[in-house]
């Protein structure tokens, strides 16, 4: 161990006051090593990460912070860095683990650099505990696996018996012919209608599951043309009026997901409208690095108390009584968030109309477009 009081590590490294303050107040764990790989200085954050006190670490080889299985190999890597120092990250492409005082291993990210001090060149390591991020990634992977399994069952194990029931209905209709009583024909028609609704629900579930997968291939997105296509796809009907206002330059993006989101919002507005006269507006504009898309209608609106569940699976917050699977808004939200955007709902109690606002990225970012 180094023969120094633990309260004086910075004097040992001859740091000036500014560097000392920056070092000790860093939100990341920081550690200085001498040319023999011994610990000279640690900040408070590093002590918190590994649950060691400064007194327990000073003078120890840095391998004390590593799992036993990695220590022997690390000595060679450490010596190689000291001989040819450079600013770099450790363990690119693989997971790194540290070891706390109690033996618990923790996932970490480590960056290395070096500093020249009066007593020689020292290695500086920056350590970040990424436990919370790893837990979140694990939960997300588990959720996606469960969703994939569920949709696989829905697609294969439910669709087949539904088709069998539909065939039986057709056989009954053929056997009866025109002699079937009106109530029988009515009940058979209702059964066929409900089978069709179940098959549509299965298709919607598959669409929702696939919506969480980010589309990597980009292309030029002309919002003027895209909005015009979405409007043209809606079948004309009396009393429907759709206004558009697009002021966004063409940008590189993923066209199909944007179109799907916009079609879902427009169709949703039409489906849940409660009047013969329906007015819908679509506006798109650039705002910073986002394309902001607003879809408004003058329908019945959604009560504030119900808005929290508007984007959930199987939730229908309209009172029109029309049959639907309640997946349109859930699919839209999943697509938007999978591609790095946000979607919000604005609808005030006592006032008609819904306002959906979508923020869609206009530029590639390294954290979502790698």
pLDDT digits (tens, 9 = 90+) for 41-99: 999 999 999 999 999 999 999 999 999 988 988 888 888 888 887 887 776 556 789 99
Whether the Cβ atoms of residue 361 and residue 290 lie closer than 8 Å to each other: yes
Residue 6 phi, psi (nearest 5): -65, -20
Domain with 328 in it: 215-370
The neighbour count for residue 130, using CB atoms within 10 Å, is 16
Last residue in a domain, options 68, 96, 129: 129
CATH number at residue 87: 3.30.450.20
Are 294 and 159 found together in one domain?
A: no
- Name the pTM for this structure: 0.57
pLDDT in tens, 293-343: 999 999 988 877 777 777 775 555 554 434 444 567 888 888 898 888 999
Pick the closest to residue 12 from 78, 71, 80, 59 (CA basis): 59
Pick the closest to residue 354 from 300, 276, 316, 306 (CA basis): 300
Distance in angstroms (rounded) separating the CA atoms of residues 240 and 248? 25
Last residue in a domain, options 211, 227, 246: 211
pLDDT in tens, 131-172: 999 998 888 788 777 777 777 776 767 777 888 888 888 888
Angle in degrees, CA 188, 192, 193, rounded to 5: 115
Pick the closest to residue 76 from 123, 110, 37 (CA basis): 37
pLDDT of 147 reads: 72
Alpha helices in the chain (DSSP H): 9-12, 17-25, 44-50, 54-57, 68-83, 131-153, 159-176, 182-211, 223-233, 255-271, 304-307, 328-338
pLDDT of 98 reads: 93
Which is it for the CA torsion 24, 28, 29, 31, positive or negative? negative
Domain count, the chain: 3
Last residue in a domain, options 99, 129, 159: 129
């Amino acid at each position: 161990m180094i023969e120094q009081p633990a309260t004086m590590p910075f004097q040992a490294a001859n740091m000036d006051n500014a560097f000392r303050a920056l070092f000790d107040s860093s939100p990341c764990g920081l550690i200085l090593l001498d040319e023999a790989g011994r610990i000279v200085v640690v900040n408070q954050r590093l002590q918190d990460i590994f649950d060691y006190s400064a007194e327990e670490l000073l003078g120890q080889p840095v391998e004390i912070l590593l799992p036993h299985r990695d220590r022997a190999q690390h000595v060679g890597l450490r010596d190689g860095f000291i001989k040819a120092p450079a600013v770099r990250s450790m363990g690119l492409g693989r997971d790194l683990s540290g070891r706390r005082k109690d033996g618990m291993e923790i996932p970490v990210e480590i960056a290395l650099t070096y500093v020249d001090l009066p007593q020689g060149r020292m290695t500086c390591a920056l350590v970040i505990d990424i436990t919370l991020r790893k837990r979140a990634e694990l939960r997300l992977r588990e959720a996606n696996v469960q969703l994939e399994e569920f949709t696989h069952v829905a697609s294969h194990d439910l669709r087949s018996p539904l088709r069998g029931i539909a065939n039986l209905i057709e056989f009954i209709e053929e056997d009866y012919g025109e002699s079937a009583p009106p109530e029988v024909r009515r009940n058979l028609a209702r059964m066929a209608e409900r089978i069709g609704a179940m098959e549509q629900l299965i298709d919607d579930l598959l669409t929702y599951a696939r919506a969480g997968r980010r589309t990597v291939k980009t292309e030029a997105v002309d919002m003027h043309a895209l909005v015009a296509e979405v409007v043209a796809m809606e079948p004309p009907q009396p009393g429907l009026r759709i206004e558009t206002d697009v002021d966004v330059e063409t940008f590189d993006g993923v066209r199909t997901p944007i179109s799907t989101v916009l079609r879902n919002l427009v169709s949703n507005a039409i489906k849940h409208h409660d009047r013969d006269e329906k007015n819908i507006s679509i506006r798109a504009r650039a705002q910073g690095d986002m394309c902001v898309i607003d879809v408004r209608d003058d329908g019945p609106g959604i009560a504030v108390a119900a808005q929290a569940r508007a984007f959930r699976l199987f939730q229908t917050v309209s009172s029109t009584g029309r049959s639907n699977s309640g997946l349109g808004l859930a699919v839209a939200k999943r697509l938007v968030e999978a591609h790095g955007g946000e979607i919000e709902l604005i609808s005030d109690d006592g006032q008609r109309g819904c306002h959906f606002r979508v923020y869609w990225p206009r530029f590639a970012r390294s954290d979502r477009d790698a």
